[in-house]
């Protein structure tokens, strides 16, 4: 049987010339490789809706030009053609694409922290907490859900059972009193950001972000044409005294419960000040509560959503951090005035998240499996955080200043003996030694005055973290 390939009979002219042109393009593009057999003339004629004589004429023309050769009793084969001198079509101008596509391409990064399977000790943020117990439990829930979940499209807003479970969870864990009709199930935090940008912002309108900030939020808002206004953070979180004056702010993106990546917790005074600013500006607050489940020896403050009396806060939660990133499920708690717009935008985006996974997650939450997982995770992460802190103190205390937040799955280590001039040498030497590091710089709009590392500890056991910090200490001293 001959090679199958898509052929587009574009352009004007008789069919045999259009077919010749399409086959020649497939050969020159490498879709039909040297030595492969073309379909029999009757077969290709039937597939393309052409007469056999048309196909015979095209094959004969290709043979005359040296693109194919015939073997008696065997068929027609692609010849070995030198395509190096093939004239290329002129590249289309990027202006042919939309303004959104150009903005998206300009900010696109395939993953600032996506790990490297060749690294023995990966301290980059984003490495998940691997737990065989939760994977096994999740497989069982998926299997059960697949047996009873409707095969029709799910509600765009999310399955009622999962929205109810989210409300129950938020009431117990975060003090948020929400109704299922206020919850929208989304494909993780990134889709939540995308929907918020589309619903709340027109290109050119101002959006406030923290400095430093979650790079995924910056990329998403910039791709949608927002005019970004960075506001510095300190030990008390977002500095509300530095918020832009005058009207024009449409959105404030903040991580008050555990500032990303700095790690600070926004004080109650500043939370109230931010809510007052939103009321005065008539703007919205997007509260990203990405890892509030994991806190060590400290109680969380009230969420902005629970303090909001005017319906200005859109609350974002994610299951990707607390379970595993491959799940791609999260949720929004919406003010009543925005619910219809967000649900419509979600429906236009993908008609709704996977019903089977939503059903499995709803059951996992209602039967107590989710709470048991959180308790195990908290115990493991607390031990890993302690191992990283101890390792840095033992092996690198003279080289780093650790900004430990007592929460989450990461911490920032500012370098005390390095500048940006020798920072790359540190990164390279650590990688050669099997340790993956991540610079703090991509999380700033403007490069900070001194280099720092964003260290994740979820993906390594305590003994590996001790070994990683020992290697890191050697690399720090060798490159200082």
- Hey, what domains does the chain have and what are their CATH numbers? 15-78 (1.10.10.10), 109-127+372-479 (3.90.1150.10), 136-367 (3.40.640.10)
55: its two tokens: 């196909």
Span 353-411, pLDDT tens digits? 999 999 999 999 999 999 999 999 999 999 999 999 999 999 999 999 998 777 889 99
Res 86 pLDDT > 70: no
HEC string of 152-185? CCCCCCCCHHHHHHHHHHHHHHCCCCCCHHHEEE
Predicted local distance difference test score (pLDDT) of residue 126: 76
Predicted local distance difference test score (pLDDT) of residue 18: 86
pLDDT band at 112 (very low <50, low <70, confident <90, very high): low
Q: What does the alpha-carbon distance between residue 397 and residue 392 come to, in Å, rounded to a whole number? A: 6
Predicted local distance difference test score (pLDDT) of residue 176: 93
Span 274-314, pLDDT tens digits? 999 999 999 999 999 988 888 876 677 789 999 999 999 99
Instruction: Give one DSSP letter per residue of 421-458, joined into a string.
Output: TTHHHHHHHHHHTTEE--BSGGG-SS--SS-EEEEE-T
Instruction: Name which of 157-161, 335-339, 401-405 the model is least confident about.
Output: 401-405
205: its two tokens: 């309108």
Span 164-222, pLDDT tens digits? 999 999 999 898 999 999 999 999 999 999 999 999 999 999 999 999 999 899 999 99
Q: What does the alpha-carbon distance between residue 233 and residue 243 come to, in Å, rounded to a whole number? A: 11
Res 87 pLDDT > 60: no
169: its two tokens: 């969870």
Predicted local distance difference test score (pLDDT) of residue 456: 92
Furthest-apart CA atoms within the chain: distance in Å: 87
Res 89 pLDDT > 70: no
Res 428 pLDDT > 80: yes
Q: Exposure of 435 by Cβ count < 10 A (0-12 exposed, 13-18 middle, 19+ buried)? A: buried
Task: Please give the C-alpha separations between residue 433 and each of 269, 273, 356, in angstroms, as whole numbers.
Answer: 45, 47, 43
Q: What does the alpha-carbon distance between residue 239 and residue 224 come to, in Å, rounded to a whole number? A: 25
């Amino acid at each position: 049987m001959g090679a199958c390939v898509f052929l587009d009979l574009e352009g004007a002219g008789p069919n045999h010339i259009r077919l010749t042109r399409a086959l020649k393009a497939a050969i020159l593009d490498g879709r039909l490789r040297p030595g492969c057999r073309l379909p029999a003339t009757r077969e290709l004629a039937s597939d393309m809706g052409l007469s056999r004589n048309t196909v015979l004429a095209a094959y004969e023309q290709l043979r005359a030009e040296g693109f194919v050769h015939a073997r008696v009793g065997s068929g027609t084969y692609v010849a070995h053609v030198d395509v190096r001198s093939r004239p290329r079509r002129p590249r289309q101008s990027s202006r042919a694409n939309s303004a959104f596509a150009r903005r998206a391409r300009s900010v696109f990064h395939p993953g600032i922290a996506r790990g490297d399977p060749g690294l023995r000790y990966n301290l980059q943020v984003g490495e998940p907490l691997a737990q065989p117990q939760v994977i096994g439990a999740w497989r069982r829930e998926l299997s059960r859900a697949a047996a009873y979940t409707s095969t029709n499209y799910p509600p765009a807003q999310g399955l009622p059972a999962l929205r109810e479970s989210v409300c129950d969870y938020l009431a117990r864990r975060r003090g948020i009193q929400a109704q299922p009709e206020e919850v929208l199930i989304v494909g993780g935090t990134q889709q939540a950001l995308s929907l918020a940008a589309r619903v709340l912002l027109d290109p050119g309108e101002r959006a406030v972000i923290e400095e430093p900030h979650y790079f995924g939020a910056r990329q998403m808002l910039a791709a949608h044409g927002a005019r970004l206004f960075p506001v510095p953070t300190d030990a008390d979180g977002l500095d509300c005294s530095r918020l832009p004056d005058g009207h024009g702010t449409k959105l404030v993106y903040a991580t008050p419960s555990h500032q990303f990546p700095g790690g600070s917790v926004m004080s109650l005074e500043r939370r109230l000040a931010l809510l007052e600013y939103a009321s005065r500006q008539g703007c919205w607050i997007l509260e990203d509560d990405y890892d509030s489940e994991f806190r060590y020896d400290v109680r969380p403050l009230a969420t902005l959503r629970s303090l909001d009396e005017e319906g200005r806060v859109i609350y974002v939660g994610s299951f990707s951090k607390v379970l595993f990133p491959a799940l791609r499920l999260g949720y929004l708690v919406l003010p009543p005035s925005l619910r219809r717009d967000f649900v419509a935008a979600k429906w236009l985006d993908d008609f709704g998240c996977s019903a089977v996974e939503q059903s499995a997650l709803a059951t996992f939450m209602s039967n107590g499996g989710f709470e048991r997982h959180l308790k195990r995770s908290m115990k493991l992460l607390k031990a890993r955080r302690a191992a990283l802190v101890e390792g840095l103190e033992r092996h690198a205390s003279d080289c780093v200043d650790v900004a430990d937040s007592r929460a989450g799955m990461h911490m920032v280590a500012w370098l005390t003996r390095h500048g940006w001039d020798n920072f790359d040498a540190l990164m390279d030497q650590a990688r050669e030694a099997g340790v993956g590091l991540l610079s703090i710089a991509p999380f700033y709009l403007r490069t900070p005055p001194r280099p720092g590392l964003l260290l994740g500890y979820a993906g390594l056991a305590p003994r590996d973290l001790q070994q990683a910090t020992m290697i890191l200490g050697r690399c720090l001293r060798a490159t200082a």
